[in-house]
Amino acid sequence: MLTETLGSVLIANRGEIARRIIRTVKRLGLRAIAVHSEADADLPFVREADEAVLIGPANPAQSYLDVAKVLEAARATGARAIHPGYGFLAENAAFARAVIDAGMVWIGPAPEAIDKMGDKINARNLMEAAGVPVAAGTREPVTDLSLALKAAENIGYPVMVKTAGGGGGIGMSVAHDDDGLQKAYEQAARAAARFSGDALDGPAVLLERYIERARHVEVQILGLPGGRVVALGERDCSVQRRHQKVVEESPSPGISPELRERMLAAAVRVGEAVGYLGAGTVECLVDADKQDFVFLEMNTRLQVEHPVTELVTGLDLVELQLRVAAGESPEVRAEPSGHAIEFRVYAEDPKRFFPGPGTITAWDEPSGDGVRVDSGYVAGNTVTPFYDPLMAKLCVYGSDRAEALELGRKAVAEFTVEGPKNNLPFCAELLENAEFTTGDYDTGLVARMRARTA
């Protein structure tokens, strides 16, 4: 049924995620089609696809974000389905509709579900109505500073200020008083204007009560034909710089079994509330001291950190996405075991975390039992400044967290990247940090680490 329904799949993405999707597509006997910019012509994903199409210059707006060019490439190559990966057009409901209207299979949730969950305020209100815990916050977009100040007075400081749309921690900051709120609001407003197209005089900004000692824990769900939603365990994503994830692990070392069960059940309710189909992630904030949680947002796509779930469950989430999109209802049993950790290997300064692109002169990946590397580059490739600086994801799996940590130390030490700056030294530093190694950490960990070395 899979080959009859899908046949050939165009991957509307680049780098490590395009390469990872191509691997599963080809394993299932399907034809893999890549699209690429001029800047990415020499990357491995282009070579490894059965067919590759140049769709424009390096600027994403003229290549990976150009819906017309992506659809034209799909038509020209006879693609019958499109997988968006993550980022770029992955959570663009208009693109999903265009794919479906063109007679192709969209490998993702229904456009209506993307719309519902893409606006954080709308999603928050929907979840509250479904009985999912949410933080005290605004129920309507905050479009000017005076409204933000009134909202903060009602919520109580500190407050988290962020854009109502978009993700990845862009434009997010914490305000502890009115002066701090003015700065935070202006930052979020600029981000909303840049990434969401909102007007500067009326951006959609959201305020929520800030949890002082929080863990960022998310639940992987899979929506199946017929309405069934399955929770596939959680991932702890609390190691962050500038509100952006760097290291993820599963299971979370910071939640109790009772809290885990409540979070998994709530994530299923989230999926059911929007009729979710395919792979998605329900993100939550956990109060580390109170052992309670609130809904944060939902990502209606495959996550960067999906490999840790694959390692503890033995499932291939891309294969499940393909089968669900083809109308199949695969038998899925979520029985996680062992412990997995993912380290994002970025081309960035390991101290200040600023991007450090450049040509890779040496690249040697670790290997062996319990080690997985999803990479987008090899020696001789250039990490350009046009895209996210993620080069690879180094994942380790052990029978328990102690074994996974030891494997992580060994694998990080064995991973050689020369040329561009990279954050492997940070990963090594983290693996010797007492907060991280004991599992008793929160989203402020990286900031504390850097404050000590300043």
> What residues are labeled active site?
301
* CA proximity to 436, closest of 245, 249, 243, 306: 249
Task: Name the amino acid, one letter, at 265.
Answer: A
- β-partners of residue 280 are 221
**DSSP H or E stretch at residue 398:** strand 390-398
Please name the residues in contact with 22: beta carbons below 8 A apart, sequence gap of 6 or more: 11, 32, 34, 45, 48, 49
Query: How far apart are the C-alpha atoms of 180 and 173, rounded to whole Å?
Result: 9
With both helix axes pointing from N to C terminus, report the angle between 111-118 and 120-129 in degrees, rounded to the nearest 10: 100
Task: Name the strands in the sheet holding 159-163, side by side, starting at the edge strand that comes first in the sequence.
Answer: 173-175, 159-163, 205-209
Query: How far apart are the C-alpha atoms of 61 and 73, rounded to whole Å?
Result: 16
Report in angstroms the alpha-carbon separations of 145 from 151, 244, 408.
10, 25, 45
Query: How far apart are the C-alpha atoms of 234 and 220, rounded to whole Å?
Result: 6
| Residue indicated by tokens 């081309």 | 347
Query: How far apart are the C-alpha atoms of 322 and 307, rounded to whole Å?
Result: 16
* CA proximity to 47, closest of 19, 89, 66: 19
State phi, psi for 231 to the nearest 5 degrees.
-95, 130
**Peptide bond preceding 251: is omega within 30 degrees of 0, i.e. cis?**
yes
Q: What is the DSSP string of 414-442?
A: H-EEESS--SHHHHHHHTT-HHHHHT---
* CA proximity to 79, closest of 109, 116, 49, 41: 49
Neighbours of 74 (CB within 10 A): 23
| Residue 439, phi-psi category: left (phi > 0), alpha (psi -120 to 50), beta (remainder) | left
Query: How far apart are the C-alpha atoms of 49 and 60, rounded to whole Å?
Result: 20
Would you say 392 and 414 are in contact if contact means Cβ atoms under 8 Å apart? no
Would you say 223 and 277 are in contact if contact means Cβ atoms under 8 Å apart? yes
